[in-house]
Structure 1
Amino acid sequence: MSTTIAVLGDGAWGTAMALLLAGQPDTQVRLWSARPENAERLRQQRENVRFLPNVPIPQSIMLTADPAEATANADLWVSAVPTVYLRETIGRFRSLASPATPVVSLTKGIEIATFRRPTQIIEEILGTDRVATLSGPTHAEEVSRGMPTAAIAAGSDSMLTAQVQKLFSTDRFRVYTNSDLIGVEIAGALKNVIGIAAGIGDGLGYGDNAKSALLTRGLVEMSRFGAAMGGEPDTFHGLAGVGDLITTCFSPHGRNRLVGERLGKGETLSQILATMSAISEGVTTAKAVHERTRIMGLDMPITASVYGILYEGVPAAQSVNTLMSRKSGSERKY
């Protein structure tokens, strides 16, 4: 029996997921573009030149900008829309969804105005209670080329996460399940903030010692914040937490690490964003999380430092010096 899957969003990750799913037996995949001109360009070139170059898109994938055509009788919706555009974009599908519509979110971020996670936004706008997330160390550039990857399908609906595990799993893409939706989404959002910090260290020319310390203490912050939001601490020691954190902080593909590197070399945030075609989720997540931690009274020094560099013009080197001169304490309590 054939399975029809609608992938909403034609960025690098949406395209990579469409390619992965189209390679599965008995699947029909539709890739939706928010703009008609983008869909037409993809149809003509059969390649996402802007976001995922040199990876051909097979004829078996339908390319459309029509929400109704993309989702008609689809067995599963896959949302690959960045957080900053998610509420408005997913709203175009409101009339096409039902409470039983299963949706998988690929988005890693937090909405600034509401502090809502991507799955919460999807549930609110579409009115569905069948939502899961797919997360972990999963760069589109590698997944689209069949490089070995492991990911996490998380959600409270065990039938849906099992379905996602089955549909997405290949001999090169291994999917685990996790019931801690909050923890997985918080981990996916916060690792981008630490990724910016890692890039700043790279831009300043700091070495392996500094980056190892940053990742370790960054993971503490991620776990601390995640637990305060209702996530399970163990989640942050798995693929969604430390796994994704390592990839984000070291990979040359990482947009957040690249933003940080350019900040460390002296560019301003406005200069960097003006030259980027893809979204750096960590930039907006840093703002959302920093504002929330002040309200909650949580100690998040790395996140606060990234916020200061991004939004208050604090020089990167000065921020590092401030971090290094903080009062020392026990590792287990500090």
Structure 2
Amino acid sequence: MDGITFLGGGSFGTALSVMLSKKGYEVLIWDRKKETADDINIKKENIKYLPKILIPCNVKAVNDIEYAVRKNKYIVLSVPSHVIREMCRKIKPFLQNDQVIINIAKGIEEESKKRLSEVIREELPLNPIVVLSGPSHAEEVALDIPTTLVVSSNEMKYAEEVQDIFMASKLRVYTNNDIIGVEIGGAVKNIIALAAGVCDGLKFGDNTKAALMTRGMSEIVRVGIALGGKLDTFYGLTGMGDLIVTCTSMHSRNRRAGILIGEGIPKDEACKEIGMVVEGITACEAFYELKQEKGISMPITNALYNVLFKNADPVQEVSNLMKREKKCE
């Protein structure tokens, strides 16, 4: 049984580490912070990112990235999307060509507008790359609450390997050969979840949430197909599934940040209060620029961008959305 290394001691990576350790895998977590590694090794708890979850003894943590990379065949990138390229460059000197890179971050690179698997491929051209995505809050995965995920790759034999690794009694993993759709669905849903939180912060109701999610789904499909994804993918786990869980749950950092913004708290203060990266903010800016370049209609993304980056009044932006020219669904 090959071991697994997680690069980044965040909540989701830690939750998956706990799950894999219960299957008998030896798991290594690398984190740049000594206190995180000490908490995992000594207190058997990731106090900052996944408190009150017991971490089994076959999960170890280190601060030595060379050791962490050389130790195991499977390398999981469990860092935020905006540092994926930096992390790939950092680990490249220590990698062997047969090591499999598994990305669990959701988003696109803000500057290049490239999908994360494309970024990884540019930096690590010789390694197999697998994307793991789907509706999965770390807090629930760690508690063995039934969850489903999807894996994709340009080389599906590696996706099937990763499927076998992560399948468990409470974690069901599907394969999907549409890596573009899987990545785009997982990235754009963060924008809609952030917008859903803003609506919650404004004290709008269920009707508004249903409208936002439904029309948000249309935006996911529209941009996803324009970028080469397949329609069916967006009605699966990484599209509709991820959208539902992030728009409705208080586990969702994007929704929670949106609530604060809807209540009038500036986005930087909202992110500080959340205490973790709010991917929807970066995604909103990136997809706003992308839709401008490619002429894709994304009115919800446009409205959220105005709120986040132009200090627009969210109530007025909702009014603008409602008053747009009439159209057929």
Shorter-normalised TM range: over 0.9
Give the corresponding residue for 1:274. Answer: 272
Contact 1:31 1:61 in 2 (8 A): yes
The whole-number CA distance in structure 1 between the counterparts of 2:233 and 2:217 is 11
Residue-by-residue CA offset, 1:67-92 (whole Å, 9 max, x unaligned): 12212241211111101222222322
Question: Counterparts of 1:236-247 in structure 2 under 5 Å?
Answer: 236-247=234-245
The whole-number CA distance in structure 2 between the counterparts of 1:320 and 1:70 is 48
Structure 1 position 318 matched with structure 2 position 310: no
Contact 2:37 2:63 in 1 (8 A): yes
Gap runs ≥5 in structure 2: none
Structure 1 position 24 matched with structure 2 position 23: yes
Contact 2:10 2:49 in 1 (8 A): yes
Structure 1 position 179 matched with structure 2 position 177: yes
User: Which deviates further from its counterpart, 5-14 or 267-276?
Assistant: 267-276
Match among 147, 150, 156 for residue 149 of structure 1: 147
User: Which deviates further from its counterpart, 84-93 or 172-181?
Assistant: 84-93
Contact 2:257 2:274 in 1 (8 A): no
Structure 1 position 285 matched with structure 2 position 283: yes
The whole-number CA distance in structure 1 between the counterparts of 2:201 and 2:134 is 25
Structure 1 position 127 matched with structure 2 position 139: no
The whole-number CA distance in structure 1 between the counterparts of 2:3 and 2:200 is 43
Q: TM-score, normalised by structure 2?
A: 0.97
Residue-by-residue CA offset, 1:235-275 (whole Å, 9 max, x unaligned): 00001100000000000100000111111111111221233
Aligned-partner SS, 1:6: strand
Question: Counterparts of 1:187-266 in structure 2 under 5 Å?
Answer: 187-266=185-264
Give the corresponding residue for 2:53. Answer: 55
The whole-number CA distance in structure 1 between the counterparts of 2:38 and 2:47 is 13
The whole-number CA distance in structure 1 between the counterparts of 2:63 and 2:126 is 22
Structure 1 position 139 matched with structure 2 position 112: no
The structural deviation recorded for 1:65 is 1.2
Contact 2:197 2:254 in 1 (8 A): yes
Percent of aligned pairs with the same residue?
A: 37
The whole-number CA distance in structure 2 between the counterparts of 1:99 and 1:309 is 45
Whichever residue aligns with residue 52 of structure 2, its letter is: N
Q: TM-score, normalised by structure 1?
A: 0.96
User: Which deviates further from its counterpart, 116-125 or 135-144?
Assistant: 116-125
User: Which deviates further from its counterpart, 88-97 or 218-227?
Assistant: 88-97
Q: Following superposition, which runs of at least 4 residues in structure 1 exceed 4 angstroms of deviation?
A: none
Aligned-partner SS, 1:55: coil
User: Which deviates further from its counterpart, 142-151 or 152-161?
Assistant: 152-161
Aligned-partner SS, 1:57: coil
Cα distance change of structure 1 residues 72 and 99 upon mapping to structure 2, 3 Å threshold: closer
Match among 17, 34, 37 for residue 36 of structure 1: 34
The whole-number CA distance in structure 1 between the counterparts of 2:305 and 2:106 is 18
Contact 2:36 2:46 in 1 (8 A): no
Contact 1:148 1:172 in 2 (8 A): yes
The whole-number CA distance in structure 1 between the counterparts of 2:237 and 2:173 is 10
The whole-number CA distance in structure 2 between the counterparts of 1:128 and 1:245 is 33
The structural deviation recorded for 1:327 is 0.8
The whole-number CA distance in structure 1 between the counterparts of 2:51 and 2:126 is 34
Structure 1 position 113 matched with structure 2 position 111: yes
Match among 75, 84, 98 for residue 77 of structure 1: 75
Whichever residue aligns with residue 8 of structure 2, its letter is: G
The whole-number CA distance in structure 2 between the counterparts of 1:176 and 1:107 is 18
The whole-number CA distance in structure 1 between the counterparts of 2:257 and 2:55 is 29
Whichever residue aligns with residue 28 of structure 1, its letter is: E
Give the corresponding residue for 2:2. Answer: 3
The structural deviation recorded for 1:100 is 2.9
Q: How many residues align?
A: 329
Aligned-partner SS, 2:52: strand
The structural deviation recorded for 1:129 is 4.1
Cα distance change of structure 1 residues 71 and 106 upon mapping to structure 2, 3 Å threshold: same
The whole-number CA distance in structure 2 between the counterparts of 1:10 and 1:295 is 36
